[in-house]
């Protein structure tokens, strides 16, 4: 047993002294709202068919329920991107991708938001890219720039027509671009952490896939009888 003089070890004290932040979760609110509305409408139609119909129609409606409901849940309610101190978790409709920060090779938002890791490209469904929103944000940035400097009005209007304003401030940028910038900053800041190293893990979402396939098989059998 070795004695200690009471002086803390810098190597062991550093992690405890680091500020702790809650995980950041990014989700598409329009996607969630549309998913809830679709489920409500579909649920009403399916229940109505099961209650008021005769013959095999109620069974067909029952079999069709998981075929419709689970994909809707997967593509609207399930997608999310969670950014923690050690890794980011990309929850897509049918897969969950866990990427330690040290393995992030790049983040970009072109026609879709993507993370590059382990030589592969993974799309982030929870961060949809809206070209219309991006153009509107660029237009606002151009107008804001013109208001600050009237002499730059003609140049700003020309840039707005082209749909690009270099150096536009964050409040006037599209949401997807801001999210990708935040994730890129987190990756650069946390990649040096020892706990942020590891392998990229990909897991299939079987609780969505299996019921959908079972319902589809039952639906085919009922319609073919």
Candidates 212, 203, 194; CA nearest to 15 is: 194
217 plus 138 within the same structural domain = no
pLDDT at position 52, please? 92
Structure tokens at 121: 């490209």
Q: How many other C-beta atoms can be found within 10 angstroms of the C-beta atom of residue 184?
A: 16
Maximum CA extent, the chain: 84
Q: Residues in the chain, how many?
A: 225
Q: Are residues 63 and 153 in the same domain?
A: no
72 shares its domain with 165: no
Q: Is residue 15 domain-resident?
A: no
Residue 103 contacts by C-beta under 8 Å, 6 or more apart in sequence? 117, 118, 197, 198, 199, 200
The predicted structure's pLDDT at residue 188: 95
Cα–chain-centroid distance for residue 19?
25
Beta-carbon neighbour count of residue 219 at 10 Å? 19
pLDDT at 131: 66
Q: For residues 108 and 180, is the Cβ–Cβ distance under 8 A?
A: yes
Global pTM reads 0.75
Domain-embedded: residue 149: yes
In a domain, 12, yes or no: no
Structural domain boundaries, residue 30: 20-129+175-224
Kindly state whether residues 75 and 95 are assigned to the same domain. Answer: yes
pLDDT of 167: 39
Residue 28, pLDDT score: 94
Instruction: Give every CB contact of residue 225 below 8 A, 6+ residues apart in sequence.
Output: 56
The answer to whether residue 34 is domain-embedded is yes
List, for residues 58-68, the tens digit of each pLDDT value. Answer: 999 999 999 99
Q: Does 70 share its domain with 141?
A: no
47 shares its domain with 104: yes
Residue 85 shares a structural domain with residue 161? no
Q: Which residues of the chain have pLDDT under 50?
A: 1-4, 6-16, 146, 151-152, 155-156, 158-170
Domain count, the chain: 2
* Same domain as 41, residue 142: no
102/145 same-domain check = no
Six-digit token string for 60? 């067909």
* CA–CA dist 179, 52 (Å, integer): 47
In a domain, 84, yes or no: yes
Same domain, 99 and 189: yes
Query: pLDDT at position 164, please?
Result: 41
The answer to the question of residue 11 being in a domain is no
Residues 78 and 54 in one domain: yes
Contacts of residue 215, defined as CB under 8 A and 6 or more positions apart, other chains included, come to 63, 64, 65, 66, 67, 70
> Within this chain, do residues 119 and 136 fall inside the same structural domain, yes or no?
no
pLDDT at position 169 is: 39
The tens digit of pLDDT for each residue in 134-162 reads: 566 556 655 555 455 554 455 445 444 44
Distances (CA, A) of 80 to 7, 40, 85, 92, 167: 44, 21, 17, 7, 28
Is residue 83 within 8 Å of residue 179, measured between CB atoms? no
């Amino acid at each position: 047993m070795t004695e200690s003089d009471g002086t803390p070890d810098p190597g062991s004290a550093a992690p405890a002294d680091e500020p702790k932040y809650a995980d950041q979760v990014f989700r598409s609110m329009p996607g969630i709202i549309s998913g809830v509305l679709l489920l409500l409408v579909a649920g009403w139609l399916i229940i109505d068919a099961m209650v008021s119909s005769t013959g095999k129609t109620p069974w067909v409606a029952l079999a069709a329920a998981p075929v419709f409901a689970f994909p809707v849940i997967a593509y609207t309610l399930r997608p999310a991107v969670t950014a923690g101190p050690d890794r980011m978790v990309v929850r897509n409709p049918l897969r969950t991708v866990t990427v330690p920060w040290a393995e992030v090779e790049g983040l970009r938002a072109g026609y879709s938001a993507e993370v590059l890791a382990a030589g592969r490209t993974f799309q982030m469904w929870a961060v949809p890219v809206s070209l219309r929103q991006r153009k509107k944000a660029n237009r606002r940035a151009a107008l804001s720039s013109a208001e600050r400097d009237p002499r730059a009005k003609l140049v700003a209007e020309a840039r707005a027509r082209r749909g690009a304003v270099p150096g536009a401030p964050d409040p006037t940028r599209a949401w997807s671009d801001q999210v990708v910038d935040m994730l890129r900053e987190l990756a650069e800041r946390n990649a040096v952490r020892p706990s942020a190293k590891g392998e990229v893990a990909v897991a299939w979402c079987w609780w969505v896939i299996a019921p959908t396939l079972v319902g589809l098989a039952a639906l085919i059998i009922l319609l073919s009888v």
